[in-house]
Amino acid sequence: MRIVLLGAPGSGKGTQAQRLAERTGIPQISTGDLLRAAVARGTELGIKAKAAMDEGRLVDDALVLGMIRERLAEPDTRAGFILDGFPRNLVQAAALDGLLAELKQPLDAVVQFEVDRAELVKRISGRRTCADCACVFNVLTSPPTGAAAICPRTGAPHRLIQRADDNEATVAERLRVYEEKTRPLIAFYQSRGLLRAIDAEGQVDAVTERLGVALGLAPRPAAAARKGAAAKRPPRRKPARPARRRRPAARAEKRRPAPKKVPARAARKKRAGGPRTRKPPARRRARR
């Protein structure tokens, strides 16, 4: 599966790209991460990119495309990839189409993350990145808690830092550049039948589910189990009313003893008036 995630800065593309990579096993390719790595190494590309990133401007298209070409040549991208933050303008989109056609790896889907502007400003100002594993968090909406508070690379708590281009001074400029340069990509990919838009506001887990539905992925095991349990749950029944207790009778009637059983023969004698007596024999008349 070859996917592009589109959206304004702070729309949650990075967080959802990480989750999607874990779920599908295909790599996340973030141009921002590639550029920041070049900046950290102090390469010629990194030096040029740093000035543009600190001012909220876009990096030169040719440099970014060259980095993408090198990354797509690595073996872990054969099963697919998730492009996060690229392309950012129509020139990059056309160049990416040519590169993917050359590699015979056309895109399968482009997902647009829709978020209100006020929410974007809140997200960007609260965003923090782990200096060791590059995981993205937000101290206002999704801070690292529980098992997620431990860095998988160091085994210690995340070392959270704020990117230079995430401060409030550059947010307005970044959003202006997005509206001018990146938003036209919506119509570009819509005309190719690749665009799918999702509501990217709300809980992170809810956005993850919407993204999975947009891409036609099977529900996650936990979500499927919750739906199955809800379907199997029997309908609620009203509790039965307690039985009414009968009032005791004012006076308890004395039970009469049951009549004794009498043999049938004795019963017949009793009805006949007692035992039968034989009549004395008639005396013979004396002969005179």
What type of residue is 267?
A: A
**Residue-level pLDDT at 225:** 47
Question: Is 174 among the residues known to form the active site?
Answer: yes
At 175 the three-state DSSP class reads helix
pLDDT surpasses 50 at 288: no
What type of residue is 51?
A: A
Question: Is 127 among the residues known to form the active site?
Answer: yes
Range 90-105 average pLDDT: 93
Question: Is 183 among the residues known to form the active site?
Answer: no
Question: Is 23 among the residues known to form the active site?
Answer: no
**Residue-level pLDDT at 235:** 55
Question: Is 104 among the residues known to form the active site?
Answer: no
Range 9-32 average pLDDT: 91
Query: Exactly one of 2, 88, 123, 128 is catalytic; which is it?
Result: 88
pLDDT digit string, tens, across residues 239-283:
555 556 655 555 544 555 555 655 556 555 555 555 555 555 555
Range 105-133 average pLDDT: 90
Q: Which residues contact 188 (CB under 8 A, 6 or more apart)?
A: 90, 93
Beta 109-114 vs 195-199: how paired, if at all? parallel
Q: What does each C-alpha distance from 100 to 15, 115, 225 come to in angstroms?
A: 25, 29, 38
Output the six-digit token pair for 104: 């015979």
pLDDT surpasses 80 at 212: yes
**Residue-level pLDDT at 278:** 56
Element (H, E) at 19: helix 13-24
Query: Exactly one of 2, 19, 50, 127 is catalytic; which is it?
Result: 127
- What CA–CA distance (Å, rounded) separates 32 from 178? 15
The share of the chain scoring above pLDDT 90, in percent, equals: 39
Domains detected in the chain: 2-219 (3.40.50.300)
**Burial status of residue 87 (CB atoms within 10 A of its CB: 0-12, 13-18, 19 or more):** buried
Tell which residue, 69, 86, 78, has the closest CA to residue 26: 78
The share of the chain scoring above pLDDT 70, in percent, equals: 75
* Residue 147 CB coordination number (10 Å): 7
**Residue-level pLDDT at 272:** 55
Rounded to an integer, what is the distance from CA 197 to the centroid of its chain?
17
Query: Exactly one of 23, 57, 163, 196 is catalytic; which is it?
Result: 163
Beta 28-30 vs 81-84: how paired, if at all? parallel
Read off the pTM: 0.64
